[in-house]
Structure 1
Amino acid sequence: MRDNLNDLRAFLAVAEERSFTRAAGKLGVSQSALSHAMRGLEERLGIRLLMRTTRSVSPTEAGERLAQRIGPHFVRIETELAALTELRAKPAGTVRITASDDAIKHIVWPQLAKLLPAYPDIKVELSIEPGLTDIVTERYDAGIRPGEQVAKDMISVPVGPEVRFAVVGSRSYFDSHPVPRTPQDLLNHNCITFRQPTRGGIYAWEFEKGGRELRVRVQGQAIFNSSLQSLDACLSGAGLAHMPEELAHPHIATGRLKRVLEDWCPYWSGFHLYYPSRRQSSPAFALVVDALRYRR
C-alpha cells in the first residue's frame, strides 16, 4: 500500500510535468528511479498509464482518468499536512482545568488574561469545583488544588505563593459579639462553616502557634462550599469566617472586615497545578502551565 501511494504521487508529478526529468527534479529522485517506479506501478495495475517517446511523455486515456480522480485527494492530503505543521508551530487547542473559585479568581485568570491575547487559537475551559476531582476520569487536562492535597503520582507545579488563612468578621458582627482571644473562643461564636466537598463533613478550622496545633469544630447557621460565598455572608454580618488571606485582605484594608487570631494562623502550602505523569504535553498545554507557574 505504501509503495502504491508513493508511486501514485510520483505518477501525478510526471503527468503534470510531462517530463521524467522535471518530475524527478521536483520529487528529488533520479530519473532512472522514477522511470523504474512507473513501470512497476503499471505492471501492478495491469494497464499502461504513460505514453513515452524519445522526446516526451504524456498520460494515456487511463492515466488521464487516474490523474483527474486521485489528484484532488492528494492536494487535500498535502493541504492537511501543511495545516498540521502550522499547528505544531502555532499552539492551538483547548485546555481544560478544574479549580476552586478563589484559585481561578486570584491566580489562574490573572495569568491567562495576559497569555490568551497572544495566542488566539488557544482556548482554556475553567471548571469551578471545590472538591478533589478525578481529572483523568473527567477528562480534564489539569487540576489546581493546595499542594498537600495533590496525589504523589501526579506531576505538581506551584502556581501561587504559600497560603495563609484569616479569621474575619464584619463591623456589625463585632458590634454585638466579643473579639475571640483564642481558637477555643470560636465555639461561642456564630461561624460561617465550610462543607468539604470530597468527604462531605464540615471543615474543622486549623490553627498553629508555638508548635501547638489545634482543630476547632466551629458551629454556625450558614454552611457553604465556596470561599466567595463565605466572604459575601461574612461581609453581610452573618458571622465569623475562615478564608484565604488574599481573599479577605482588600476588605480588611478598607475596614469592612476585622481580623482576629492572626498569631494563630500559619502559612500552608500554596496552590499547585497537577496532571498525570503519563500525559502527552501539547504546545498549548505547555504554554498554559508555564504561564501559571509561580515564580518568586
Structure 2
Amino acid sequence: MTGPLTAVTGASGAVGGRVAERLARTGVPVRLLGRDPARLPDLPGADRAPAAPYGDAEAMRRALEGAHTLFLVSAHESPDRVREHITAVDAAVAVGVERIVYVSFQGAAPDATFTFARDHWHTEAHIRTADLRHTFLRDNWYLAGLPAMAGADGVLRGPGGDGRVAAVAHEDIADAAAAVLLDESTAHDGRGYDLTGPEAFTLAEAAEELSRVTGRSIRYVPETVEEAYASRAGYGAPEWEVAGWVTSYEAIAAGELATVSDAVPTLTGHPAMSFAEYLAANPDSYRHLLPGV
C-alpha cells in the first residue's frame, strides 16, 4: 500500500466505519481508531490502533503517530465534548499530522439554536487556530434519524413547526468524505461543505412518506417547547441531553436546516439520496412502524 496514512476515528460507527471501508477499498493506508479496539472493523490493509478515547491525550498521540491526515468524527454528545475534541486536535498537531477533515454540523455557530451545533463551532474555531490544513464537513440531520424518531404508536412529535430539513444519508456523507480525503491537492483546504439531501421537507411530509412505505398512518404532532420537554422528561436523560433533543427540532422550526447544498453531487459525482430513496434502500429503518410489529 502506498500513499500517506489516514487515521479514521469513530471507525466502528455509522460515519467513520463507512469512510474507513471506502478508503481501504482504494488501497490507501488506513489506521482505524476507536474507544474499543474490539469493535473496530476488520478491513483489508487497515491497521487498528490501541484504545484511543478523544480525551486521553497520550493515547491519541500514540494512535496518531505517523499519520498524515486525521478524519475526525465528532465525539458522542457530552458536557465535555469540546474539551475532548480539543485534546484530540492538539494530539494530532503534536505528532505532526498535516491535515484534519472534521465532521461538523450545518449551521454550526456560537449562537446556533441546536445546542450541540455550538460544540461544533467551538471545535472548528480551535482547528482554525492549529497549524495544519483543514476541511469541515457540515452534516445536516441524518435521514436515518427520521424513522427512528417516530414511536411505535406511529407518532413523530417535536417542536419543529412547519420548518424544513434537508436531511442527508450516511452513505452520501461517507462518499463525500472519501472524495475529500483521497484528494491530496489543496483544493479543499480551509473549506466548509454543507452536506445535505436533494430537498428540504417538513416533518409532516416526512410522516406522509413513512405512511406511504409502511401502509399505516404515521402522524407528525407539533409540540410547543414546553410540551417537548415534558414529553421527554420520562426518559431520565440529563438536562443537557434533553436540551439537545428539543433544540434540534427548534432549529428546524427556525429554518436553520432548510438550506439545500450541491456539495454531495459536486464532491461525489452522483445525486444525493432523497428520503424516499433512503427508505426504499433501508426497510429495516422503519420496521418498528410496520402494522402488527
Shared topology, TM-score over 0.5? no
**Larger-gyration structure (1/2):** 1
- The higher relative CO (CA closer than 8 Å, separation ≥ 6) is in 1
- Give the TM-score, by structure 2 length: 0.23
- Give the TM-score, by structure 1 length: 0.23
